[in-house]
């Protein structure tokens, strides 16, 4: 083998340790983890090699390799680790650092992962929404019947703010993923792994297959210790899908009426919000919210139940969970309090809801939410480069 000069990034080691991988140095390379892992390929399996690379600070090897994302943190490795080195948690920390590494703008990548910056990140949407309220001349607790879109935050404000947030996130994702893909490809060149040499496959089919895997949670279901996570994650996943459809549906109702003049037809209440409770869109949206709520509650209870075997999770994990929990609870409460007509509670809850949704949207490329983009990219690359689980 040719002589190799290893570049060790000591800061990276400390970053892994402070990002939830504090057990990193306990690993003594016995390889129990690679064997009990059900989602790793047989050739150059993870997570043992990642543990070594992380201990040695080989940042480039870790980031230019799709394996950290092929890991679904089943935590079978952590449960069976004879040293308490928690490979599942360490790989979670490396993924966080990967998101941070590819973040654009990069300061936001650091901020979202740091508890110290939480307040500043929250202040941004709070100020935006207070300014929006002031521009409309609304107080924080308006009087009269609650119609959020009239008495509080008018639709154009919502649309402008969230479209901007979404575009900002989209730009972040495009920048991050582009850089990541480039590094993955360059990883093929610097790698001594034979599997990375056989780049192949029709891209479209690969993307379709990857999406099908998500929908069925095929990989997640291979977990042993935390097999119930496949269900909780599926609930959260489809809860979000349902709410996305609801949003599109709402847009169709509103602008279908305003722009195209579509009148309420049959059971569909085209027109202005709020829509009656028996409208199909409303029913669909409420069900989606309940699916998301049960999903995120399952996530929390499963995590607590498995904490001893699988590790208790990092700040990064819990921030993401908390944001989703806040969105879904404030969302449901906003509706309930509106129907009950309790303005003193309804408006602050709705305001919190707006802040939380903004937080999730605008910071998506930097929070754990980014896993959806990076994991997809890594899985597509893994299939594309012939790195597949048997």
Partner 1 sequence: MAEKKKVLVIGGGFSGLTAAVESAEAGSDVVIVEKTPFLGGRVTQLNKYFPKLCPPNCGLEINFKRIKNNADISFYTLAEVESISGQEGNYNVTIKINSRFINDKCVGCNACNEACPVEMPNEFNFGLDKTKAAYITHNQAFPFKYAIDGKHCKGKSCAKCVEACKYDAIDLDMKPDTVNLNVASVVIATGWDLYDTAKLDNLGGGNIKNVITNMQMERLASINGPTSGKILRPSDGKEVKNIAFVQCAGSRDENHLPYCSYICCMASLKQATYLREQYPDSKVRIFYIDIRTPGRYEQFYWKVKEDPNVTLTKGKVAKITEDSATGDVELVVEDVLAGNKITEKYDMVVLAAGMVPSTKASKVPGEISYTHDGFVVASYLKKGMYAVGTAKSPVDVAKSVQDATGVAIKTIQSARR
Positions that interact with partner 1 (CB under 8 A): 28-36, 40, 42-45, 48-49, 80, 82-84
DSSP output for 188-255: HHH---GGGG-----HHHHHHHHHHHHHHTTTGGG-STTTTHHHHHHHHHHHHHHHHHHHHHHHHHHH
Minimum distance, C-beta of residue 206 to partner 1, in the bound complex (Å) = 24
The helix-helix angle for 118-136 and 155-190 (nearest 10°) equals: 150
Nearer to partner 1 by C-beta: 31 or 205? 31
Q: Which residues in 95-116 are b (16+ Cβ under 10 Å) and which e?
A: bbbbbbbbbbeeebbebbbbee
- Angstrom distance (rounded) from CA 299 to CA 231: 9
Nearer to partner 1 by C-beta: 329 or 385? 385
Minimum distance, C-beta of residue 193 to partner 1, in the bound complex (Å) = 8
Minimum distance, C-beta of residue 382 to partner 1, in the bound complex (Å) = 16
Nearer to partner 1 by C-beta: 80 or 168? 80
Nearer to partner 1 by C-beta: 37 or 370? 37
Minimum distance, C-beta of residue 48 to partner 1, in the bound complex (Å) = 6
Nearer to partner 1 by C-beta: 36 or 323? 36
Three-state SS at 268: strand
Minimum distance, C-beta of residue 352 to partner 1, in the bound complex (Å) = 43
């Amino acid at each position: 083998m040719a002589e190799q000069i290893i570049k060790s990034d000591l800061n990276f080691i400390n970053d892994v340790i402070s990002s939830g991988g504090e057990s990193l140095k306990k690993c003594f390379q016995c390889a129990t983890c690679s064997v009990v892992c059900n989602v790793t390929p047989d050739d150059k399996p993870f997570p043992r090699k990642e543990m070594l690379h992380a201990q040695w600070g080989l940042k480039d090897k870790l980031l230019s390799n799709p394996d950290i994302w092929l890991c679904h943190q089943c935590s079978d490795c952590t449960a069976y680790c004879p040293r308490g080195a928690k490979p599942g948690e360490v790989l979670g920390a490396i993924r966080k650092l990967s998101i941070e590494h590819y973040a654009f703008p990069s300061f936001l990548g650091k901020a979202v992962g740091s508890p110290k910056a939480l307040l500043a990140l929250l202040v941004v949407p709070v100020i935006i929404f207070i300014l929006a309220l002031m521009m409309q001349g609304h107080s924080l607790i308006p009087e009269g019947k609650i119609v959020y879109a009239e008495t509080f935050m008018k639709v154009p404000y919502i649309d402008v703010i969230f479209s901007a947030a979404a575009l900002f996130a989209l730009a972040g994702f495009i920048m991050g993923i582009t850089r990541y893909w480039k590094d993955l490809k360059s990883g093929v060149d610097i790698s001594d792994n034979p599997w990375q040499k056989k780049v192949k496959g029709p891209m479209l089919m690969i993307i379709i297959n990857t999406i099908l895997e998500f929908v069925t949670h095929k990989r997640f279901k291979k977990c042993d210790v935390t097999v119930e996570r496949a269900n909780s994650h599926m609930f959260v996943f489809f809860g979000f899908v349902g709410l996305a459809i609801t949003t599109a549906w709402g847009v169709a109702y509103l602008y279908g009426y305003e722009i195209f003049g579509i009148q309420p037809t049959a059971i569909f209440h085209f027109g202005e919000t709020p829509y009656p409770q028996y409208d199909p869109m409303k029913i669909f949206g409420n069900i989606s919210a309940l699916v998301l709520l049960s999903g995120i509650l399952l996530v929390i209870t499963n995590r607590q139940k498995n904490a001893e075997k699988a590790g208790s999770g990092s700040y990064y994990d819990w921030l993401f969970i908390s944001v989703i929990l806040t969105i879904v609870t404030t969302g449901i409460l906003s509706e309930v309090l509106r129907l009950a007509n309790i303005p003193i509670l309804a408006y602050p809850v709705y305001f919190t809801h707006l802040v939380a949704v903004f937080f999730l949207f605008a910071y998506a490329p930097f929070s754990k939410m980014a896993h959806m983009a990076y994991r997809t990219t890594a899985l597509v690359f893994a299939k594309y480069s012939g790195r597949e689980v048997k």
